[in-house]
Copies of this chain bind each other. A is one copy, B any other.
Amino acid sequence: VVAGAVELADAEGLDAVTIRALATHLGVPPMTLYHHVPGKEAIRDAIVDAVFAEVPPPTAGRDWREQLTERSHAMRAALNRHPWAIALMETRAQPGAASLAGHEAVLEVLRSAGFSIPATAHAYAVLDAFVYGFSLQEAMLKDVGLERAPDDLVAGMALSASPRIAELAREHVLTPGYSFGDSFDVGLRITLDGLESLRTADQPRRRGGFDEGG
């Protein structure tokens, strides 16, 4: 049922996920769905959590930077596969089980790496902000890019009053090797460097490696 809803959202967009259309997609009478699911809102909760469930747990025993890099890429990939999930997250009142499990796993990585509790809170908020925000931008670009050719697109906007946008488009974005996604690795490096500074700034006297206890 949830899997069918995800397929439908991927194929035809979030608005196409109606009770009736989903029932047709699954080959059952519409009202039958209410025996498996309380209502539409529950379906929306479930498909968001299904996207989080696609992100594998961190591989144990590796450097925290590697673990978070891997997870950030996996999260971005999942959100690229299901761009509607970003919009849906905003209205979810309660995180699902997979979302909670993901949170727990990331917190464990940070705490084990020596982040203090306040540093962990900052680090998680900042890293997630970057990953979600970047994925949101990629989802926006996907909507823009599909219909028309790039030159047409630029011509379509009133760029006479926007010399800097025109410059960027002409000399960079419309250039053969360009890929917006390359900025993800740049931003991830910047963000992880920043997290490292949070980690070390918070425990400058721990050089000796002794355990200070609780």
Chain B contacts of A193 at CB under 8 A?
A: 190, 194
Complex CA gap A104/B163 in Å reads 8
Interface centre among A101, A107, A164 (most CB of B within 10 A): A164
Assembly of this chain: how many copies? 2
Is there contact, CB below 8 Å, between A190 and B187?
no
Is there contact, CB below 8 Å, between A126 and B91?
no
Is there contact, CB below 8 Å, between A137 and B144?
no
Residue of B nearest to A182 (CB): B122
Is there contact, CB below 8 Å, between B125 and A132?
no
Q: A113 interface residue, CB < 8 Å from B?
A: no
Chain B contacts of A134 at CB under 8 A?
A: 125-126, 129, 133
Chain B contacts of A81 at CB under 8 A?
A: none
Q: A161 interface residue, CB < 8 Å from B?
A: yes
Q: A66 interface residue, CB < 8 Å from B?
A: no
Complex CA gap A83/B173 in Å reads 30
Q: Convert A168-190 into 0s and 1s, putting 1 for each residue whose CB lies closer than 8 angstroms to a CB of B.
A: 10011100000010110011011
Chain B contacts of A156 at CB under 8 A?
A: 94
Is there contact, CB below 8 Å, between B121 and A168?
yes
* Residue in B90, B97, B125, B191 whose CB lies within 8 Å of A183: B125
Q: Looking at the assembled complex, report how far the CB atom of A6 sits from the nearest CB atom of chain B, in whole angstroms.
A: 16
Chain B contacts of A94 at CB under 8 A?
A: 144, 156-157
Is there contact, CB below 8 Å, between A157 and B125?
no
Chain B contacts of A208 at CB under 8 A?
A: none
Chain A 182-208 residues near chain B, CB threshold 8 A: 182-183, 186-187, 189-191, 193-195, 197-198
Q: Which residues of A approach B to under 8 Å, CB–CB?
A: 13, 83-84, 86-95, 97, 100-101, 103-104, 107-108, 111, 117-118, 120-122, 125-126, 128-134, 136-137, 139-140, 143-144, 147, 156-158, 161-165, 167-168, 171-173, 180, 182-183, 186-187, 189-191, 193-195, 197-198
